[in-house]
Chain A
Amino acid sequence: MPGTALGVLLELLAKDDKLALHLGTLLPLFLAWQVTVAAIIGYCIVPRSGDGKLAPH
């Protein structure tokens, strides 16, 4: 869901004077998208012990 919503940041790729957010760079999209998705995956990923069972927290 956040990965979908953050696609809005592609608008920053445009480079003209129509909107102040037209910066002409993909860096904010890469930063916001990858950091958010990585944090969600890190939070939701389930650690397992060697025998395949869920590791105790």
Chain B
Amino acid sequence: MTSFVGAALMGLSNASASNRAIILAALAIVSATLSNFAPTLWAPPLVFVNTPLLPGIYFGMVLGLAIWFWVSRSALKILTVILSTVIAWAAAKITAEHAFEAIQHMLEEIAAPGKTPTINFVLAVSGVLGGLVGSTILTFGLSLVCKEFGAFEN
């Protein structure tokens, strides 16, 4: 049994680039499902600065597992990735909320008094800004642990 687990871990450690992508994508499906349903079903909200942290923690665990398998077994590096993922998620959410409120505020200023204007795709624009901030922080956090990550030739 132990040798089977060892062989499985060895196989995972030596996975090709495409297999690594598939393995992490499968884990991310679990993480995304938990991120959406866990806060409402059973998990405590774990809110910090008006932001639920669980989605960042779940996804951080997936990325931490990737670091453990393929980059380093150092606990410090794994914690760095988990922490940067949580920070990236919180920053992305706060950015998106701030952008949404700013756009709504501008709309209210230019609209006729007493009317609450709404336009389509405000959330989409806010989401892109949040995604930009989250991706940047996550890439920075990963590049601290895995120097070659930012290199496009990889």
Contacts and interface: CB of A to CB of B under 8 A. Distances in A.
Nearest to A19: B120
Place the interface of chain B in its size category: 35 or more
Contacts of A5: 128, 131
Interface string B23-60: 11101110111011000000000000000000100010
Interface residues of A, number: 37
B96 interface: yes
B29 A33 contact: no
A19 to B, nearest CB: 6
Contacts of B25: 35, 38-39, 42
Nearest to B67: A45
A26 B118 CA distance: 20
A31 B29 contact: yes
Contacts of A3: 131-132, 134-135, 138
A18 B122 CA distance: 13
Contacts of A43: 17-18, 20-21
Given A38-B63, A45-B149, A26 B142 contact: no
B148 to A, nearest CB: 4
Interface in B57-99: 59, 62-63, 66-67, 70-72, 92, 96
Interface of B: 13-14, 16-18, 20-25, 27-29, 31-33, 35-36, 55, 59, 62-63, 66-67, 70-72, 92, 96, 118, 120-121, 123-124, 126-132, 134-135, 138, 142, 146, 148-149, 154
